Every structure is written in C-alpha cells, then in structure tokens.
Amino acid sequence: MNNSAWIETIGFMAACLTTSSFLPQAVKIWRSRSARDVSLVMYLMMALGSGLWLAYGVLIGSPALMAANSTALALVLCILALKCREVMLDRGLRLPEA
C-alpha cells in the first residue's frame, strides 16, 4: 500500500470511530424516550461543524471526510430532532401530524 492509501485508511478509521460515537447517544434517547439531559446548544454546534466539515471534504475531494461528516450530520440531526420533540412536548406544544 502506498503512502497516500495509508493516509486515507487512517482517515477512514478515524471517521468510523468519531462518527459512530454519536450512535450510543441516539440509541439511549430512543430507548429511554428522553432527551432531557442532552445539550441542545452542543448538538446545534456539532451539526453546524459537521456540515462545514462535509463542505470542506467535498471541496477538497476527501472521501473520508465526506463519509464521516455526512453520517455524523445525519446522526446529530436525528438527536436534535428527538431533543426538539421533547422540548416541544415539555412546553405543551402540539407536534405536527405525520
């Protein structure tokens, strides 16, 4: 394997680990049906950061950055949706009908 391939492999390994770190939180929220202790500001910042990293990855053509940050953004947006749902329910607001 050449140097470039090793570097990209390291990037994909890092991407898998950092991106999958959001999965346990999402599963915990889903199972407990509670996002009460999740920081809304932290996840808003993470969504924005992941979106910017995704744009950067697209601009420089990095498959590792694109894969990691599109997946991370999807997971973070799921967590944010669950958090926003809980905030709306706590405030007595009606959720839109599906």
Tens digits of residue pLDDT in 1-22? 778 888 878 888 888 888 888 8
Q: Report d(CA 57, CA 2) in Å as an integer.
A: 21
How many folded domains does the chain comprise? Answer: 1
Q: Is residue 95 part of a domain?
A: no
pLDDT band at 98 (very low <50, low <70, confident <90, very high): low
Q: Tell me, what's the pLDDT at 13?
A: 87
Q: Give the domain extent around 27.
A: 3-90
Question: Residue 57's domain is classified under what CATH number?
Answer: 1.20.1280.290
Q: Is residue 98 part of a domain?
A: no
- Helix/strand/coil (H, E, C) string of the chain? CCHHHHHHHHHHHHHHHHHHCCHHHHHHHHHHCCCCCCCHHHHHHHHHHHHHHHHHHHHHCCHHHHHHHHHHHHHHHHHHHHHHHHHHHHCCCCCCCC
What's the whole-model pTM score? 0.75
More confident: 52 or 7: 52
Q: Tell me, what's the pLDDT at 51?
A: 95
Q: Is residue 97 part of a domain?
A: no
When mean pLDDT is compared across 26-30, 69-73, 77-81, the lowest value belongs to: 26-30
